[in-house]
Amino acid sequence: MNERTKILIDQFEKKLFSRLSSTKQIEVCLKPSGVGYDATADIIIELPDGTRWGIERKSKMDLYNSILSKRVYKQLDKLREKYPGRSILLVESSYIPKKFWYKRSQIEQSVLTFLSEQSFYGPVLLTTGVKHTAHFIIKFARDLLKGKYKKV
């Protein structure tokens, strides 16, 4: 059995990976892609006992576009099915690009309404950006290792 907590990060989350890769006591690696690999979560935290937590990470604009296309509903259903009681939606409340400022009120309202609805089904967390996300993930992984959370 692995005696260290492991954080597996989707290969498309390179900025986050670079922030986390220097972490001591926690093994951080990119998840391979392709057939047979878990694509339901952007981030997987695996404890030494094999318990896994799945985290879906989205920027505010990505979430907005996913809401419009309805893609996010299937993503979250799959995440919650794969990690029952151990799944988290994490949204980076980054800036809205200038070309979308004319509809930023609509974007904000759509995202906040969606997050409020989703909070009934599981944890919804907001961070300010990649640095804050990395800090949260490290702290959360360490707290999991200490037995602070079992299920949510």
Query: 135-150: per-residue pLDDT in tens?
Result: 999 999 999 988 887 7
Delimit the domains of the chain by residue range: 5-145
- Category of 85 on φ-ψ map: left (φ > 0), alpha (ψ -120 to 50) or beta: left
Decide if 104 contacts 139 (C-beta within 8 A). Answer: no
Residue pointed to by tokens 């690009």: 97
Query: 73-121: per-residue pLDDT in tens?
Result: 999 999 999 999 999 999 998 777 777 777 888 888 999 999 999 999 9
Closest residue by Cα to residue 80 from 126, 48, 41 = 41
Which band of pLDDT confidence, cut at 50, 70 and 90, is reported for residue 152?
A: low
Multiple choice CATH, 5-145, 3.40.50.10130, 3.30.300.30, 3.40.50.300, 3.30.565.10: 3.40.50.10130
Instruction: Give the CA-trace dihedral at 58, 118, 146, 10, to 10 degrees.
Output: -30
Give the Cα separation of 147 and 139 in Å (integer). 12
